[in-house]
Amino acid sequence: MSSKLIIMERVFKVIGLMCLALFAMAKLHAAYGEQAAINEVKDLIASNQFLATNQIPNNQITKDQTSHKLNDVIKPEAALPKPNMSDWSQSRIDSFITAEPTSPLLGLLSIPSIRLEVAVFDGIAEVNLNKGVGRVIPSREINGDGNLSLAGHRDGFFRNIGQLTLGQELNITDLNGEIHRFRVVNTWIVKPKDTYVMKRTVKPSVTLITCYPFYFVGSAPQRYIVRAEKF
């Protein structure tokens, strides 16, 4: 083999290794960004300002809201269809396969227009968001009044919520089998610290929250919001 071919072969190997390294760094950065976004929401929820505007008064808490136990877990795998993962990131697919949530299952979110059916878990722990979507605490219960805020990953179950338009329907089925129907009334993009989207509403509402842009590499700088009201 000539010296030129040897040099070219070595150059291509170096370029290949650099590409692999850049890809790995991008994946790690994205994973770090998703976890950072979750931690940011948790920090905002823990702030007194957020609690003051969103916490449900004690005299409005029902028995259903206090009946969940940490060990009262319903496994959704047998009841839910396998999600369409064709446009998910590979890391999200891997996380879905291995995730075993320990939080209570609250119900099922269904959005026919984007062919989404996903389990709703109590809380936004990473393991919950790997297997479904999570209720942001504190926010209302599925069968309560006010604003039910649900968070999901942009490279997983909430990949296509940007396709939702005004008037389209989303449904939530609670553990009693009752279906609660909502229609989309607004979509918008906010900054991560714009917690007003999770504030209590006059009408029973659902607010879907995910990072944005949907295909951004790394820590996404914005949040995509879908608001739907009960009808």
Tokens 């605490």, located at residue: 137
Q: What is the phi/psi pair of residue 181, to 5°?
A: -105, 140
pLDDT at 31: 46
pLDDT at 142: 79
% residues pLDDT > 70 (the chain): 65
* Count of Cβ atoms closer than 10 Å to residue 70 Cβ: 9
211 is known as an active-site residue: yes
Position 55 confidence tier, pLDDT thresholds 50, 70, 90: very low
The active-site residue, picked from 19, 29, 68, 153, is 153
pLDDT at 144: 79
Tokens 């808490």, located at residue: 61
Domain residues for 172? Answer: 3-230
* Amino acid identity, position 125: A
Whichever domain contains 59, its CATH number is 2.40.260.10
Position 12 confidence tier, pLDDT thresholds 50, 70, 90: low
153 is known as an active-site residue: yes
Burial of 47: CB neighbours in 10 Å, binned 0-12, 13-18, 19+: exposed
Span 159-191, pLDDT tens digits: 999 999 999 999 999 988 899 999 999 999 999
Q: Total structural domains in the chain?
A: 1
* Ranges of H-type helices in the chain: 3-46, 48-54, 63-66, 90-98, 126-131
